[in-house]
Structure 1
Amino acid sequence: MMTVITHVTLTQGSEPEWDAAMRDRLESATQREGWLGNQLLIPLEAPNERTVVGTWSTRAAWEAWHADDAFLETRERMEGLQEGPSATSWYEVVAEQH
């Protein structure tokens, strides 16, 4: 099991539009093989930043999702709403509790 964490900074005023597109994107992930869960987080001290946490069975499943039509449609909607590129980190899950 793999967790991917992505940090982005949004342009001022674009937060509602970006959040709506990301919610659509994350909803589409629930239909993909290998998807296990996700979260969209807003840091309390930085309301124009976002952290996306996704958990997948494999990194290959996550990469396949990036070719999905729904993913590509949200990419178009989100284009230009971020300040610079996002930063992504991968983690192997060694323990999980709910």
Structure 2
Amino acid sequence: MFVAMNRFSINPGREADFEAAWRTRESYLASVPGFVRFALLKGDEPGEYISHSTWESRAAFEAWTRSEAFRAAHSQAPMSGVLAAPPRLSVYEAVLTQEAPAPA
């Protein structure tokens, strides 16, 4: 498993604009080989957000970043005035995972 996270810092008062841009965009992820799940996380600190995507492998994530789907997804909803700074990417290889037990 491979996880990619972008950390976003949003200008005060622009949080609703940021969330709306994510809610209304076309993600293109559903058809990408190796994609597992996505979550947009809102932190406790004002203006703190993280996009969290889980992939079957680093290779699957890297293939996504070189794809037409990636370019299309990232050409939507300009963030001018919304972002306080450029997003910061962090990537992680899973060394241990645990799932909830299946319901009986």
Regarding TM over 0.5, the answer is yes
Structure ID, larger Rg: 2
Shift of 1:89: 0.7
Shift of 1:92: 1.1
Contact 2:8–2:48, Cα closer than 8 Å, also in 1: yes
TM-score normalized by the length of structure 2: 0.73
Which sections of structure 2, spanning at least 5 residues, go unmatched? none
Q: Which amino acid aligns with 1:89?
A: S
Shift of 1:80: 2.9
* Counterpart in the other structure of 1:89: 90
Q: 1:26 to 1:43 in 2, by over 3 A?
A: farther
TM-score normalized by the length of structure 1: 0.76
Query: Aligned to 2:61, which of 59, 73, 77?
Result: 59
Q: 1:22 to 1:92 in 2, by over 3 A?
A: same
Q: 1:79 to 1:56 in 2, by over 3 A?
A: farther
- Structure (1 or 2) with the greater helix fraction: 1
Shift of 1:32: 2.7
Q: Which amino acid aligns with 1:83?
A: A
In percent, how many aligned pairs have the same letter?
26
| Matches of 1:16 and 1:27, distance apart in 2 | 18
Equivalenced residues, count: 94
Which sections of structure 1, spanning at least 5 residues, go unmatched? none
Q: 1:25 to 1:36 in 2, by over 3 A?
A: farther
Shift of 1:43: 1.4
Contact 2:26–2:73, Cα closer than 8 Å, also in 1: no
